[in-house]
Amino acid sequence: MPRLLAVFLLLCLTACSSTPPAPGERDLDHGVIIHLFQWPWESVGRECATVLGPAGVAAVQISPPQEHRALPGHPWYADYQPVSYQLTSRRGERQAFASMVSECHAAGVKVYADAVINHMAAGMGQSFPKVPYGPADFHSCGRSISNYQDRFEVQNCQLVGLADLATEQEAVQARIAGYLNDLLALGVDGFRIDAAKHIAAADLRAILGKLTKPAYLYSEVLFSAAEPIKPEEYQDFGTTLEPRYGEILARHFRGDSLSLLDARLQTLLPQAVTYVDSHDTQRGSSTLSYKDEAQHTLAVQLMLAHPYGTPLVMSSFAFNGFDDGPPSLSDGTTKQVVCGEGWVCEHRTVLSMVRFRQAVQGAEVQHLWATDAALGFARAGKGYFAVNRSAEPIKRTVQTGLSGTFKDVITGQTHQISGELILTIPATGAIALIKE
């Protein structure tokens, strides 16, 4: 997304309440997804084969694969300005993309593509001959969205100047579906639908109804209580992202008492894809990011330990300015990933928690306790997790409901447990115990 849109979205992410879920509704989990943000295809394939597959990661989310506009300075948001549906981008060509998908599949890792289908690039009029799209294929609102309380304007006017596709038209739907089906034919397993709330749910449903095989779908529907467009409109054909989740965790790891966390989580969507930070929010202050170091790591560990939702873990490149794109050559081609050389690779610091999540899959939360700075809970006979955001270790006797020898997947230490456990949680640290 372009800069003005991203800034607007950072301001729009506000808390609102919903009906608490019925028991068991929060257990829908498709495994851990790692967002390899703007990684080139060769590096994604290598990471799947050497790191993610062996760690048990379920899937990667990749950046938009279609041809995009080349902008001065090569900002990150250029990827969200399509000029065609050809698989040529600064991350690689079509054959490199196909090879990446095959390599990830061989490692047991699924591939979810970020699908930018609401709009085409700004500043190019309404002519995209490679698709082909012409003026009749776009909405003619004539202005950018200014009133997010007006459903028509949100779904028919330009998103900060981006050419808004007339997604209600059969021909447009067919071209978009053709692009998605091309990706499916290359082995892509699912899609994150970018800017989904700017596409009428009926239009998106019609497009997805043209897919040639099943795909896992999760839609970006950023919302607030004051807006008419709600995530529930988009959930009969997939799930949605939960933008409030990362904001809530940020509040608690920055100072709010952890004793209030569970009640706030109960206000969220019954089912969702969750994240601590995203490529949009990490450039603002509403959520944590890799720049928050230990706080960010602890929040991601908690997300992976708790059963709510399907976790999406961010893996970033380092940035100073808002516009900064990935490490690149002078022509804008993205450099291959070398962690520590412009690439943060923060996902690698939490991979042990993927093992924890797999080991406790399906087990409900029990014996929950929380103080201002610490929190712990058991996962019904399968494991135990505790986190401490304070600068001093915390010692506490806890009821675990566990019996036997358990190993901390974070530190490697073992514990013999028979119900109660005298637990020392490290300063700004966590423990995650599973059966040895």
Q: Which of 194, 233, 247, 277 is catalytic?
A: 194
Q: Cβ contacts of residue 279 below 8 Å, gap of 6+? A: 35, 37, 38, 76, 314, 316
Active site residue 103: no
Calpha distance 215→427 (Å, rounded): 42
Q: Which of 47, 114, 164, 220 is catalytic?
A: 220
Supply φ then ψ for residue 83, to 5 degrees: -115, -15
Instruction: Annotate 268-320 with DSSP letters as a single string.
Output: S-SS-EEES--TTGGGSSSS--GGGTHHHHHHHHHHHHS-SSEEEEEE-B--S
Active site residue 194: yes
Calpha distance 76→60 (Å, rounded): 19
Give the closest residue to 195 by CA, choosing from 140, 118, 255, 267. 118
What's the one-letter identity of residue 209?
G
Q: Cβ contacts of residue 100 below 8 Å, gap of 6+? A: 41, 42, 44, 45, 48, 62, 92, 111
What's the one-letter identity of residue 8?
F
Calpha distance 14→321 (Å, rounded): 24
Calpha distance 102→171 (Å, rounded): 31
| Greatest C-alpha distance within the chain | 70
CB 50 within 8 A of CB 299: no
Q: Which residues are catalytic?
A: 194, 220
